[in-house]
Amino acid sequence: MCLFLALNSFSQIWYVNSGGDDGNGGTSSGDAFASIGAANAAATSGDFVIIEGTITQENQVVFDKDLNIIGTSNATINRLPGATYRLFFCDTDNVSLSFEDLVLNGGAAEFPGGAFATFKNVDVSFTRCTFNDFDTSASTSPNVNGGAIILNGFGTANFDGCVFNNNTAGGDGGAIFANTSGSLQIKDCLFNGNESKRATGVGGAVASWQAVKLNIIGSTFYDNTADFFGGAIWSAGTETTSSFENITVFNNRTLATGANPSVGGGCRVSADPRPFLVVNSLFYGNEYGVGPGSSPSGPSDMVLANPLSATVINTLSGTTIPTPVDGSGGDTVTSSNLAADLTSSNLMFNVASGFVEYGLPAPGDPTPINFGSDGEDVGAWDSMLTLSSNNFEIQNGFEIYTDSNRNLIEIKNNLDQQISVEIFDIVGKLVFKVNKLGSKVFINSNNMPSGVYIAVIKTKNANGAKKFLIN
């Protein structure tokens, strides 16, 4: 792995690995610390901590300064077997923390937020991190919200390209709980098998309350469970710029008996008098009342409860509450099907890709294919089936040059509009993406093996593609 760090003249790099010792200096891989706690104690604000390989963390690490925690060599952080401490905590205002390329493995946790917690004005980001099996449901403490993450009165929290697997909260937010105030953005993430596990638990994957700004983009929610409301997502409060964009909410559920579809087997945005935007999104196959002995039960995909003022654009939902979204709260619905039958689309969760994917349906059947207003399919996954009808103007409106000597790819945009560019290898794996490209972009191809690649170019109204070769 090639590591690039945005160092300033005062930054120091500290190393942690399984072969290290907390009596070492920590300034090189061969002289590494054994614990993040030792690196945190040695570091000053703005420093970088490099985690190499697999380590076992023996206690909670408390941060009080700006730090960047970066994993290499498949970095994995485990807790001691049987331990119940939280991994990371920040209790200092105006601190900025970033975590990248880490696998965090949990287990039973005594306190809310088994992986990370803050109750201060803290900015935190997690990029390409995986959270596995954090569980606060057996805690003896009250209000153990947030199986993996709890954010309360925070600054900003960004999750980009992260995976949350099988996390459980003894309160709200099986994976993430956010409350009071702050801005929470979740982008290109997967939430799989998380649960809010108590009689009144809401948000099987994500729960946000009060003045929290919640923006979820390009993310997939599959097989999450809430005991009460919002099988995958619960959003309640007063913030006026929250939104869902290109998300997929599929096969999630609520368990409570005696409920009705308004609990939101997929998601519930609560009845607060505020605007809320849903665009290019897919809600399907979600249910309510599916716990043992529960009655009644049935489909319940998207709930936008009045007097919420919802704007819904290019969105598909199997069932929607109210039915129809009736405008009593100022709702507007554009180019959407909120009672869609997608049986022939053959929706299924692909474990390998981490997306809910679908096949080409029968002609005339309602389908997510090519339904979005952004040039991509509705939902988090883009089938690219529309590429068979390339647009001649787009096809000739961009140029691709490769420079093997400098390991660079240059893409030039000759169109009078911005374009998005995605590059796939020959087996269909996405290796590069840029949105809103102006005149040109240079891409470092050092980590791209020799072979055939496909560049997919999209404008607002059409698509195009070109093959090119890296020698």
25: amino acid identity, one letter: G
The pTM score is 0.81
- pLDDT of amino acid 388: 35
Q: Residue 193 and residue 164: Cα distance in Å, rounded? A: 8
What's the mean pLDDT in 389-406?
63
- Which bin fits 353, alpha (ψ -120 to 50), beta or left (φ > 0)? alpha
Encode burial over 299-311: b for 16+ CB neighbours within 10 A, e otherwise: ebbbbbbbebbbb
Q: Residue 13 pLDDT more than 60?
A: yes
Q: What is the structure's pLDDT at 58?
A: 92
Residue owning tokens 């809430």:
226
Q: What is the pLDDT of residues 87-118, one digit of tens each?
A: 999 999 999 999 999 999 999 988 899 999 99
132 phi/psi in degrees, rounded to 5 = -115, 125
**Res. 464: pLDDT tops 90:** no
Sign of CA dihedral 348, 352, 353, 354: positive
What's the rounded mean pLDDT across residues 276-301? 89
Q: Characterize the bridge pairing of strands 67-79 and 47-57.
A: parallel
Gyration radius from the chain CA atoms? 23
344 three-state secondary structure:
helix
Q: For residues 408 and 438, is the Cβ–Cβ distance under 8 A?
A: no
Q: In what order do the strands lie in the sheet containing 463-470? A: 430-437, 419-425, 451-458, 463-470
Domain regions of the chain by residue span = 13-345, 387-470
Please provide the distance, in angstroms rounded to a whole number, between the alpha carbons at the two ends of the chain: 21
CA distances from 397 to 86, 408, 412, 423, 434 (A): 53, 20, 9, 16, 17
Query: Do residues 127 and 154 lie in contact, with contact meaning Cβ atoms separated by under 8 Å?
Result: no
CATH 1.10.30 for the 13-345 domain, yes or no: no
Give me the pLDDT at residue 155, please: 97
Helix (H) or strand (E) holding 41: helix 36-42
363 contact partners, CB below 8 Å, separation of at least 6: none
Tallying the residues shown for the chain, one arrives at 471
Alpha carbons 219 and 125: distance in angstroms, whole number: 16
Of 10-24, 111-125, 404-418, minimum mean pLDDT range: 404-418
Half-sphere exposure of 328 (CA within 13 A, CB side): 12
- As a whole-number percent, the residues of the chain with pLDDT over 70 amount to 87
387-470 is classed CATH 2.60.40.3080: yes
